[in-house]
Structures are given as C-alpha cells and as structure tokens.
C-alpha cells in the first residue's frame, strides 16, 4: 500500500513531465502471472538456475532450457497485460506526453497493452529462429514438441530452434539499446518499474539521464538507485500506476 501523499507526488511528477522514459523489468508482469527472477516467489527461489538462461549452457544442452520452458513459455504465451501495462499505455495517449518504454521483459505485454514506443532490450519469447539456417517461426508453433519434452528442431534442416531472447552472454539488440540510450538521455522523468537493477547493461540506463531529469523508483523491494531517486514507492506496480494514471 502506498501512503496517499506518494500517489499525489507521483501524479504531480507525471503531470509536470513531457518526456517520460521507463525502464521496466520482470516485476511489471508478476501481476499477469509470470514469475520474476529475484522475488521470494521468483524463478531463482523456486530452484531454476541462472545457467538455464546462459548461452553457453543452451549451446551445450538446449534440453535444459526447454524443460524449464514447458511451464514458463506456456505461462508467458497465455499472459495478458495487467493494470500497470495498461496505465503506461494510457499515459502515452495523454496529450503532450512522449513516453518510451525500455523493457527487459520478453513477454511483449507492453506492446499488447498498446504502448506505442517499446524497446525490447532482451528480445521476445514470441518468436524463435533456427540456429543453423536462421529461419524464424512463431514460438507457439513449437509448443507441441516442447510440451512433449523434446527440443524443437527446424523441420527442414534439423537445426535446434532458439527463442529470440537475449541469453546471458549474448549482446543486446543494437537498435533497442540505442533507442533506449537516446530515450534515457532525452527524458525529463525516468521511471524504473519492477526491476532489481541487477542485470547490465540495462541497469545502467538510468545513469544516462540528464542531471535535471527526475528519477522515480517503483519496485516492491529496495534497489541500488533508491538513494538517488526523487520518489521511491515500494508497492505493487499495477495498483500504483492504476491509482496514479488510471487507464485500466
């Protein structure tokens, strides 16, 4: 729960800002039923190893990723935007607002909610490509193989299919990174929502903001940037953004 004055302050900051850049993380989508990494009920606490998301491990044993993906892919492909995603999309529709969403999420829920400018820093789980011939397909088409406990392979060349997400050890997509860096530098309000700020380079984006840019942190647990923020809200993203913006 937010003390009422923090919602008033958040509303005022949003009202007085024109260029609003957001950095969102997995906490944005926990209220859509997708677990995050580092919460007490997140994937790491439930025994999923960081190795599952390491490109070296995927190259060695893609089966390890696909065993995990049987539930994660199903949950993610079935998830719907929550009030937080809808509020950010509504904010972008307000006259005079230029809202950019730099997201570490791979679930495309910001896009589904209607946010017009979304930069997916870690790619998307919606599509996959063949590691040998490069052909791309919808991940949903791979679901029967994954659900049956097999590693999905390209029907023609037999290459292993890899989701279009950025694994640990892979570079970020340059277009999403460059657009995010530009948006961070141009912002007059930088909103961090639902990220522990533990994964670089995405976690370095707030540091690219201009000196006069205000910083708001909206995250259930403390982050390394709380001390330099103009406003910190340790609360539910969906509830807070719905209260502050509406749109839900």
Q: How many angstroms separate the CA atoms of 129 and 134, rounded? A: 5
Q: Which of residues 121-180 bind ligand CNA (CB under 6 A)?
A: 122
Place of tokens 């005079």: 96
Q: Report the nearest approach of ligand CNA to the CB of residue 96 (Å).
A: 27
Q: Report the nearest approach of ligand CNA to the CB of residue 18 (Å).
A: 25
User: Which of 17, 180, 196, 243 forms a contact with ligand CNA (CB under 6 A)?
Assistant: 196
Count the residues of the shown chain that bind ligand CNA, applying the rule CB under 6 A: 27
User: Which of 65, 92, 107, 192 forms a contact with ligand CNA (CB under 6 A)?
Assistant: 107
User: Which of 102, 219, 232, 248 forms a contact with ligand CNA (CB under 6 A)?
Assistant: 219
Q: Which of residues 38-77 bind ligand CNA (CB under 6 A)?
A: 38-39, 42
Q: Is 122 a catalytic residue?
A: yes
Stretch that binds ligand CNA, among 14-22, 35-43, 129-137, 224-232 (CB under 6 A): 35-43
What are the Cα distances from residue 181, in Å, to 87, 115, 236?
23, 18, 27
Give me the sheet containing 161-165, strands edge to edge: 136-138, 123-130, 161-165
34 binds ligand CNA (CB under 6 A): yes
Q: Which residue number, 26 or 213, has a Cβ lying nearer to ligand CNA? A: 26
Return the residue nearest ligand CNA (CB atom): 27
Place of tokens 């937010």: 2
Stretch that binds ligand CNA, among 85-93, 133-141, 170-178, 216-224 (CB under 6 A): 216-224
What is the DSSP secondary-structure string of the chain?
Answer: ---HHHHHHHHHHHHT-SEEEEEE-GGGTGGGT---SSSTTSTTTTT--GGGGBHHHHHH-HHHHHHHHHHHHHHHHH----HHHHHHHHHHHSTT-EEEEEE--SS-HHHHHT-S-EEETTEEEEEEEETTT--EEEGGGGHHHHHTT---B-TTT-PBEEEEE--BTSPPPHHHHHHHHHHHHH-SEEEEES--S-STTGGGGGGGS-TT-EEEEE-SS--TTGGG-SEEE-S-HHHHHHHHT---
105 binds ligand CNA (CB under 6 A): yes
Q: Report the nearest approach of ligand CNA to the CB of residue 105 (Å).
A: 3
From residue 6 to residue 25, the character string flagging contacts with ligand CNA as x (rule: CB under 6 A) and all else as - is: -------------------x
Stretch that binds ligand CNA, among 15-23, 31-39, 62-70, 176-184 (CB under 6 A): 31-39
Q: Under the rule (CB under 6 A), what is the footprint of ligand CNA?
A: 25-27, 29-31, 34, 36-39, 42, 104-107, 122, 194-196, 198-199, 219-221, 236-237
Active site residues: 122
């Amino acid at each position: 729960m937010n003390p009422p004055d923090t919602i008033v302050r958040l509303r005022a900051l949003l009202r007085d800002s024109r260029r609003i850049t957001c950095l969102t993380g997995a906490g944005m989508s926990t209220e859509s039923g997708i677990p995050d990494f580092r919460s007490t009920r997140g994937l790491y606490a439930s025994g999923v190893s960081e190795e599952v998301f390491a490109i070296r491990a995927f190259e060695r044993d893609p089966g390890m990723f696909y065993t995990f993906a049987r539930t994660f892919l199903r949950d993610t492909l079935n998830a719907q935007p929550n009030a937080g995603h809808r509020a950010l999309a509504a904010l972008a529709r307000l006259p005079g607002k230029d809202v950019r969403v730099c997201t570490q999420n791979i679930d495309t829920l910001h896009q589904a909610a209607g946010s017009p400018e979304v930069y997916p820093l870690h790619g998307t789980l919606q599509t996959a490509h063949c590691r040998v011939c490069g052909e791309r397909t919808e991940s949903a088409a791979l679901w029967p193989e994954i659900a049956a406990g097999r590693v999905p392979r390209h029907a023609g060349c037999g290459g292993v299919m890899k989701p279009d997400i950025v694994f640990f050890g892979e570079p970020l997509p340059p277009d999403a990174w460059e657009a995010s860096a530009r948006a961070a530098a141009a912002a007059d309000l930088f909103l961090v929502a639902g990220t522990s700020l533990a994964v670089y380079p995405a976690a370095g984006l707030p540091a690219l903001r201009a000196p006069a840019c205000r910083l708001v942190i909206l995250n259930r647990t403390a982050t390394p940037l709380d001390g330099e923020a103009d406003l910190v809200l340790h609360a539910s993203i969906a509830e807070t953004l719905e209260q502050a913006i509406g749109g839900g």
